[in-house]
Amino acid sequence: MSFKGFKSQIVAAHRNKVFVLRLAATFLLLAGFGSVALWRVDLDWSNTWVAIKAINPWWYLIALAVHYLTFVFRGYRWVLLLRNSSNSDQKWTPSLWYASRVILMSWFANSVAWFRLGDAYRAYIYAEDSKTSFSSSMGVILADRIVDLAVIVILMVTGVGILLAAGQIQPPIFILVLGLGLLVIIASALIAMIIARKWLSPKLPRTISDTYHKFYDATMGSFRRMDIVFLLAIGAWLCEVGRLFFILKAMGVSISAGLVLFAPMANGLLSGVPLTPGGLGFVEAGVTGLLGLELAVEMAVAIVLVDRTISFLSTIVFGGLIFLIRQINSLRYALKENS
């Protein structure tokens, strides 16, 4: 074996070691939050456990299937955004199967790593496979995230409107304010990007300026022909709503339509908090509080725990499996090239 092939094995082994450490840290963090909940929160955990044991497995499996349908919508949306941003730097557009798998891997990375590194990982994978620049790939990812946030806010506003019209509960406006605040920040950032391209970019070194132009062009170019993109984004988030709806069916519980719509959007915002992997701790506390507006806290906790077995734990299992297969295939290819 050549030195290059041996070096590839060392790098792959290091990556696997880092992966295992991050996964272990995530489960330790999960165990820590669970311990705090068990010992510090005043709950009748026996009632929570009874509710979990009584779950209807068929409705649960439907919730699982609906959850993974979101990756089809998200994958197709990403493909369209890549086509929108197509330029001389982009020579390849991925298939729906490829795009969905990569997004699932990026969710896996977000679930085991801090600071939402999964988004950068998705950009890196695509740049590597398509032989395009990382800056262009990251620009499309940014556009994708902006569309996501816009749809979250739209659906949250709709949910708040339904809750106010029903008059049953007072929705937590602070989460909606958080979403609107993030939209304002992103809009300001886009304006800053336009200003920087016009006034700052010409004064930068050529290499940095070219990199920024690729990032800018990919981001702004992605926003063409947005009608289908927004429909796909709405479909993706309605899958998240469907997951909660079928989990409620599985547990024999019903809540108002506004809360069924609002809670998954809050879940989406809180899972984006970069302080813990996958918003661990923030999601559980926030969504439990929301469901607790209409349900007993023991039942709310049971629903959240069951929901997280799909949105968090299954993502680690299935996303990690796809990630591992990719790593094995990459190692085999490296060894074949250097044998």
Instruction: Say which residue the tokens 């170019």 belong to.
Output: 221
pLDDT at 38 over 50: no
- Write out the two tokens for 218: 């990919």
- Burial class of residue 17 (count of CB atoms within 10 Å of its CB; 0-12, 13-18, 19+): exposed
- Write out the two tokens for 212: 């920024």
- At 265, the pLDDT band (50, 70, 90 cuts) reads very high
The pTM assigned to this predicted structure is 0.84
- Write out the two tokens for 324: 């591992």
In sign, the C-alpha dihedral spanning 107, 64, 258, 34 is negative
pLDDT at 280 over 60: yes
pLDDT at 8 over 50: no
pLDDT at 57 over 60: yes
204-220 mean pLDDT: 87
Q: Cα(279)–Cα(111) distance, rounded to whole angstroms?
A: 8
pLDDT at 218 over 50: yes
pLDDT at 40 over 60: no
Which segment, 6-20, 269-283, 304-318, is predicted with the most confidence on average? Answer: 304-318
pLDDT at 121: 92
pLDDT at 283: 87
- At 279, the pLDDT band (50, 70, 90 cuts) reads confident
pLDDT at 277: 80
- Burial class of residue 24 (count of CB atoms within 10 Å of its CB; 0-12, 13-18, 19+): exposed
Q: Cα(295)–Cα(175) distance, rounded to whole angstroms?
A: 19
